[in-house]
Amino acid sequence: MAMTHEIKATSRNDEGKGASRRLRRSGFVPAVVYGANQDPQSIQIEHNTILLSAKHEWFFSSVLDLNVDGKVQKVLVRDWQKHPYKLQMLHMDFQRVDENAAIHLRVPVHFLNQDKSPAAKTSGVVISHNVTEVEVSCLPKDLPEFIELDLSDLKPGDIIHLSQLKLPKGVEIVALHLGADHDIAVVTANAVKEEAEEAPAAEGEAAPAAEAPKK
């Protein structure tokens, strides 16, 4: 089960681009909370709070406790807008979640013990992480912050597919419901074949003449 992460915010009544610019100048990020059959709510969050939280992968892949004026509601980050070149978040969208309804969200894959694997210790073998996050379906209470994949037994030539990932109870991978063709490779350990280059002729050595056709 994922840890609890709380984000503090306050409600706001001013709307429009001008109001949003004033908020940003005063160190706040304008945001909106919507969903769960409730009216959308305009809020503001201290920019430093967002900036620090956004450095962690859980901010984008976890159910958050959004505390607005002392009232906590479960939400997901659904959209965000960044400044094109400044270290500044311009706007956030949060979606309320129904704790009794399944949600779909992409969560990261953490690769463990790769350096201890036989594949990593074999010369000429390249280990590729083809999938670094997966879309899962589960109840909010069961949402993992990440999925661990232990590679300690990975051998040259091995392929690990989506269906081989170990998931927490109550968690499913969305792609696997779409058919066997969607059970893609998460990790591969392939040997790199080196093609032998033809040795160039020694300096001053003439290349062999082509044999004349027989009459």
pTM (2 decimals)? Answer: 0.78
With bands split at pLDDT 50, 70 and 90, how would you rate the model's confidence at 88? confident
215 within a domain of the structure (yes/no): no
1 within a domain of the structure (yes/no): no
With bands split at pLDDT 50, 70 and 90, how would you rate the model's confidence at 75? very high
* pLDDT higher than 60, residue 213: no
37 shares its domain with 91: yes
Contact call for residues 93 and 78 (beta carbons, < 8 A): yes
| pLDDT computed for residue 14 by the predictor | 77
H helices within 44-203, ranges in order?
Answer: 47-53, 58-61
10 shares its domain with 92: yes
146 within a domain of the structure (yes/no): yes
> Can you tell me the distance from the alpha carbon of 125 to that of 115, in angstroms, rounded to the nearest whole number?
12
165 within a domain of the structure (yes/no): yes
Neighbours of 203 (CB within 10 A): 5
| pLDDT computed for residue 62 by the predictor | 92
Contact call for residues 53 and 80 (beta carbons, < 8 A): no
Range of the domain at 83: 6-96
Q: What is the CATH number of the domain that holds 55?
A: 2.40.240.10
Number of domains, the chain: 2
12 within a domain of the structure (yes/no): yes
Q: What is the CATH number of the domain that holds 126?
A: 2.170.120.20
109 within a domain of the structure (yes/no): yes
16 shares its domain with 49: yes
| pLDDT computed for residue 205 by the predictor | 54
